[in-house]
Structure 1
Amino acid sequence: MSDFRPRRSVLFLPASNARAMEKARGLAADVVILDLEDAVAPDAKAAARDAAVAAAREGFGARECVIRINADDGDDVAAVASSEADAVLVPKVRSASDVARYRAALGDKPLWLMIETCEALGRLQDIADTGAHGFVLGVNDLALELGARPGAERAWLAPVQAMVLAAARSRGMIALDGVCNDFNDDDRLRAECDAAAAMGYDGKSLIHPRQIDICNAAFSPGADEIAWAAKVRDAFASGDGGVTQVEGKMVEALHLTQAERILGMAR
């Protein structure tokens, strides 16, 4: 399912905040997630649902528009199923049967799944096998369930990131790293983005517009990567399709796949 559409910066917006949604149409985020869950007070959820559907109808230009629903909320599901959102983000997924239930209600609307429970971690491959479009790490809820200590150190998360990414890639799904809570700490954000990008993640979910530029830079291919990829592509185009060399190093078919992905992202 993965493609070359950039999903470097994925900005959460409270669907109850009309000003924030309007402002997002001028931001450099690749994806906006109109949130009906954590960011919306209980007494504001019905109005936020209507606002999200209306905003999705108006669209966000070239940006993907995703709506995050509340878990097991029939009103949310019904409203979003017929909306013009590009995808639905489902929270608190625990099993493949959860996904099947949403799939039955949402039809062919692409599903993005929050991986934020310990139960989901034990069933990642089964969940990936459901045909969902992507995984989004929910680091705050995972930290709570795991009992991880709060703070900037993310060492506890690295094994989880690898597991989630591997399950996603095994079925061609997109994979997005979780949020950085301290939106004023640029160094921390940059470190988190660089680590996730190096691991192979497509992008990162964000909670503040000021995080977008750092995120976009980290998940974009650099000039050196693009130049290397072009050389690999050209080497295979002029060769016999077997092993060849670029810049004095052996390259093979798997490197061509990497090169094509880099060039696709650059485009």
Structure 2
Amino acid sequence: MPASNERALEKAKTIPCDALILDLEDAVAPDAKPAAREAACAAAASGEYGRRTVTIRVNGIGTEWHDADLEAAAQAGPAAVVVPKVGSADEVRTLVAKLEAAGAPDHTVLWAMVETPRAILGALAIATASERLGAFVMGTNDLVKELYAEHVPGRAPILPSLHTALLAGRAAGIAVLDGVHNDVKDTDGFLAECRQGRELGFDGKTLIHPGQVEGANAAFAPSEQAVEDARGLIQAFEDGQGSGVVTHNGRMVEQLHVDSARRTLAIHEAIAALG
């Protein structure tokens, strides 16, 4: 959400999303950035966004606004500060040190946008650089641009990069969020990309329009059938412990299946709690 748009900040209080990124970067014109910074920080500190995870995206490292953005965001204490084009482990450590020096509370973590070839090639080092790094956010638009690739259905040109970032995120135990779908009128393409992201293993998808929220929520939430199957599988495993091979609906059940089922139920319960 552009932090320079007062109506957008107000509307964000009613959008049924999990998280908000109050933007100071691409969505804000240069002459509006100081006012946007003030508005984003006030919004993040207001407590008026319910259970939504409120984050602030600052301007990138090396820009004239970056240091002031980072200091103000740290003091506002959002759930996370989102930094574009993070390219190395050293940058992560520097960002974390600056957040802490500016007085960021313990709950304010760093979300690193991964959107350059350098970041992809160093993804594991970036992901493990600090315990204060909470998530990767894929910057798919910039990644396509940097690779001289094209936006195509199925995203074949960037699938290796997406998978590399996912591997690094899973190895480090952080969340990994899929990039945006640009064409808000292309509903079928958007929904296909949501399904693909879920199948790849992303934790969620970043969005550019409130009209995309419903589709993303449906794609990333476990279906009623999946929840029912998860409960049945866990029950079968618990009932059959000590009896040798356990089966559920004709399939052998092992601990790894139980772990996946419990994750499904945890996601379902977290979504229910948001409601």
> Could you tell me the TM-score, scaled by structure 2's length?
0.90
1:118-129 matches, within 5 Å, as: 118-129=117-128
Unaligned runs of 5+ in 1: 1-12
Number of residues of Structure 1 aligned to a counterpart in Structure 2: 255
- Counterparts of 1:56 and 1:155, CA distance in 2: 37
Deviations 1:81-116, CA, capped at 9 Å, x for gaps = 111311111111010000000000112421111000
The answer for the alignment partner of 2:36 in structure 1 is 48
Report percent identity of matched pairs. Answer: 46
Aligned in 2, Cα 1:39/1:250: closer, same or farther, shift over 3 Å? same
Match of 2:109 in 1: 110
Matched, 1:61 2:50: yes
- Distance in 1 (CA, whole Å) between partners of 2:111 and 2:39 is 20
- Aligned-residue offset at 1:240: 2.3
Equivalent residue number for residue 260 of structure 1: 262
- Given that 1:243 and 1:253 are in contact with CA atoms closer than 8 Å, whether structure 2 keeps it comes out as no
Partner of 1:217: 218
> Hey, what's the Cα distance between the residues in 2 that align with 1:240 and 1:249?
15
After the TM superposition, which residues 123-202 of structure 1 pair with which residues of structure 2 at under 5 Å, given as runs? Answer: 123-130=122-129, 131=131, 132-152=133-153, 154-202=155-203
CA separation of 1:153/1:258 partners in 2, compared to 1, >3 Å: closer, same or farther? closer
Aligned-residue offset at 1:238: 2.2
Preserved CA contact (<8 Å) 1:67 1:85: yes
Q: Aligned with 2:94: secondary structure? A: helix
Matches within 5 A, 1:224-243: 224-240=225-241
Residue 233 of structure 1: how far off its partner (Å): 1.4
CA RMSD of aligned residues (A): 1.3
Write out per-residue CA displacement over residues 67-94 of structure 1, whole angstroms, 9 at most, x where no aligned residue: 0011231101110111131111111101
State which drifts further: 90-99 or 103-112.
Answer: 103-112
SS at match of 1:245: strand
- Are the counterparts in 1 of residues 123 and 165 from structure 2 also a CA contact under 8 Å? yes
Aligned residue in 2 for 1:36:
24
Unaligned 5+ segments in structure 2 are: 101-105, 270-275
CA contact (8 A) 1:135 1:175 kept: yes
CA contact (8 A) 2:3 2:24 kept: yes
Cα deviation, 1:201-251, whole Å, max 9, x if unaligned, reads 111000000000001000000111111110121122223277521111011
Task: Provide the rounded CA distance (Å) in 2 between the counterparts of 1:22 and 1:84.
Answer: 19
TM-score by length of 1: 0.92
SS at match of 2:176: strand
- Counterpart of 1:98 (choices 66, 91, 97) is 91
| Residues 86 and 113 in structure 2, CA contact (< 8 A), matched pair in contact too | yes
